[in-house]
Amino acid sequence: MKKQKIIIKLKDVHKYYYMGENIVKAVDGLSITITEGEFVAIMGVSGSGKSTSMNLIGSLDMPTKGKIFLDNEDISTFTESDLAQVRGKKIGFIFQSFNLIPNLTALENIMIPMMFQGIDEFEREQKAEELLKSVNLGERMDHYPNELSGGEQQRVAIARSLANNPEVILADEPTGNLDTQTGQMVLEFLKNLNKKGKTIIMVTHDPDLAQKHANVVYWLKDGKLEKITKKKNGWSKIRKEKLKQLKKAK
């Protein structure tokens, strides 16, 4: 079996916040290795450091100490602009509160990440249309976010996260603002993406959600890794998919 490519690696990462005299150790010596094609859940209660971890993994924030490798590159050496470029290209974000830009239509929201990668307008529009259709929103391209339901907005956000065909999708409580049924649908989309080979990292406070959908769950507590659990079944599934793909490719 071909060895899985390591896509994100946190090596003894610390993130401290200084509040007057007090030091808040939001993340305190975290080491995580995520390989390509995994569906990872980062699980923890509020204040466990899961949000900070997600910001660090998503290269939105820099660690106080320790190293973060994205595709084997140490991102702590990157300038802000390089970081933004890498982030825009390799990571797709999905947020709890959708975070679409209110002034822009569904289609334009999906075109924006491509704009920052310097993709020409025609290609942007084509790709965005294609992506919106893939999340079953082909009919709602010219709608503004406030004209869309929560589930629809989150689907636009999923489409946006895929705009630059990133290797990793980082989802922060993606179902947090949705009802159970809509949440389920969004998770199905994520699982489908995972089947197609995308690495999914989902941050959640809900252990059921984490264990049901993810193949690996990192349990955080007080900024430290408490335990890691793996779902054997899921692994083999992914391997089967991979094999199928490889066969196809040949």
Partner 1 sequence: MIRDSFLLSIKNLKQRGIRSWLTLLGIFIGITAVVSLISLGNGLQFAVASQFGISQTELITIEAGGVLGYGPPGTGAVNPLTTNDLEAIKKLSSVKKAVKRNIAPGKLGYNDKLIFGYVASIPSGDDRDFIYEQLDAEPITGRFLKDSDFGKVFLGYNFYVDKVGLDKKVLPGKKVIINDKEFEVLGILEKKGSFMFDNAVFMNEKDMEDLFDYKDEIDIILAQPKNKNEIDRTKQDIEKLLRKQRDVKEGEEDFSVSTPEASLTTVNNILGGVQAFIVIVASLSIFIGALGIVNTMTTSVLERKKEIGIMKSIGARNQDIFLQFFIESGLLGLLGGIAGAIFGTLIGIFGTLGINNFLGTDIKPTIDFVLIFFSLLGSFIVGALAGIIPAMNAAKQNPVEALQG
- Residues contacting partner 1: total by CB under 8 A: 30
Q: Specify the length of the chain in residues.
A: 250
CB 127 within 8 A of CB 117: no
CB 141 within 8 A of CB 88: no
Which among 28-36, 105-113, 179-187, 208-216 is the span making contact with partner 1, rule CB under 8 A?
105-113
Instruction: Count Cβ atoms within 10 A of the Cβ of residue 156 and give its class: 0-12 exposed, 13-18 middle, 19 or more buried.
Output: buried
Rounded least distance, CB 101 to partner 1, Å: 6
Token pair, residue 233, equals: 């079944």
Kindly identify the residues of this chain, within the stretch 160-199, that bind partner 1 according to CB under 8 A.
160, 163-164
Kindly identify the residues of this chain, within the stretch 215-244, that bind partner 1 according to CB under 8 A.
none
115 binds partner 1 (CB under 8 A): yes
What is the distance between the alpha carbons of residues 70 and 113, in angstroms, rounded to a whole number? Answer: 19
What single string gives the DSSP state of each residue in 149-214? -HHHHHHHHHHHHTTT--SEEEEESTTTTS-HHHHHHHHHHHHHHHHTT-EEEEEES-HHHHHHH-
154 binds partner 1 (CB under 8 A): no
Identify the residue among 31, 33, 117, 192 touching partner 1 (CB under 8 A).
Answer: 117
Please, which residue, 20 or 118, has the CB nearer to partner 1? Answer: 118
What is the distance between the alpha carbons of residues 135 and 158, in angstroms, rounded to a whole number? Answer: 8
Kindly identify the residues of this chain, within the stretch 58-97, that bind partner 1 according to CB under 8 A.
58, 60-61, 80-81, 84-85, 87-89, 93, 95
Which among 31-39, 53-61, 232-240, 242-250 is the span making contact with partner 1, rule CB under 8 A?
53-61
121 binds partner 1 (CB under 8 A): yes
Q: Is the dihedral of CA 202, 203, 208, 211 positive or negative?
A: positive
Please, which residue, 115 or 238, has the CB nearer to partner 1? Answer: 115
143 binds partner 1 (CB under 8 A): no
Token pair, residue 215, equals: 């193949």
Which among 4-12, 103-111, 173-181, 209-217 is the span making contact with partner 1, rule CB under 8 A?
103-111
Please, which residue, 190 or 216, has the CB nearer to partner 1? Answer: 190
Cβ contacts of residue 166 below 8 Å, gap of 6+? 89, 90, 91, 92, 198
Which among 67-75, 110-118, 199-207, 240-248 is the span making contact with partner 1, rule CB under 8 A?
110-118
Please, which residue, 89 or 237, has the CB nearer to partner 1? Answer: 89
Q: Point out which residues bind partner 1 (CB under 8 A).
A: 55, 58, 60-61, 80-81, 84-85, 87-89, 93, 95, 99-104, 108, 112-113, 115-118, 121, 160, 163-164
